[in-house]
Amino acid sequence: MQDGTDRLRRKGRTIAFVPTMGYLHEGHLSLIREGEKHGDHVVLSIFVNPTQFGPEEDLDAYPRSIENDLALAEKEGVDTVFLPNEKDLYPERYETYVSQETLPNHLCGLNRPIHFRGVATVVTKLFNIVKPHVAVFGQKDYQQLLVIKQMVRDLNFGIEIIGAPTLRESDGLAMSSRNANLPAHLRPSARSLSQSMHHAQDLLHRGETDAHVIIQETSDYISSHPETDIDYVSLCDPNTLVDVDSILPQTLMALAVKVGGVRLIDSMILTQ
């Protein structure tokens, strides 16, 4: 992979990179299409990264379908697919990790303390291997996008980071590989995440600016649906992820909820 991208760079090709954990869906395909706008050689990686999963999390249950992924990548015109295995990226006696001081101490990082260390580490390694000019990430994983942008600034990577909009199913559910693990009868419960954010925006338009009131109404609405277990409902500064007491001109609403044991996340920028 490194030799191949070195050759591409010597030829003056612009490399656009889309890192994924596979089980591709339309959301991933939109990232590939965004990459095609910014580069003339698109590299897609597929790797379920073990270092971002805690011991009680769903590493083994994470959906995988490599044959389908490769077919979709070919159909979308991906130029190169990079398929490392765990021993490629984490050989024996591996001990180096990338961590950050503040951004991981919010939202998902509160209950997943090793998650963003694993994300930052694997993305650093992928950047060093693929050597892209541009990398594309989805805005659905808003905190991850901030972490990667901060890492690129702090460590002087010469890479432009593109945040692509969240794609949604026809019923409003944010597209995610984990949606494949949702039982059909819990689909309305999963849909409550996006519905609750639209309700929060309506509250704001009606003049409610107290973050605690909006969080309580959002939590009550989600909890009224079967088999929902709220990890967090947060209203925070979209740049620092620090919680706010009163709504800013632009405020990030971020949610993490287990629905029937499947952990879903979603987010939206609320505007006054």
Q: What distances in angstroms separate CA 60 from CA 140, 261, 272, one per listed residue? A: 22, 14, 42
- Looking up tokens 């088999």 gives 227
Name 267's bridge partners: 254
Q: Contact 161/148 with Cβ under 8 angstroms?
A: yes
Q: Look at the chain and count its residues.
A: 272
Kindly state the DSSP code that residue 185 receives in the 8-state scheme.
G
Per the structure block, which two tokens stand in for 127? Answer: 């950047």
- Looking up tokens 């109404």 gives 217
CA–CA–CA angle 140, 201, 226 (5° rounding):
70
Nearest Cα residue to 270 out of 220, 232, 233, 226 = 233
Give Cβ neighbours of residue 186 (< 8 Å, ≥ 6 apart).
Answer: 226, 227, 259, 260
28 is catalytic: yes
Choosing from 28, 41, 115, 225, which is the catalytic residue?
Answer: 28
SS (H, E, C) 222-265: HHCCCCEEEEEEEEECCCCCCECCECCCEEEEEEEEEECCEEEE
Q: Active-site positions?
A: 28
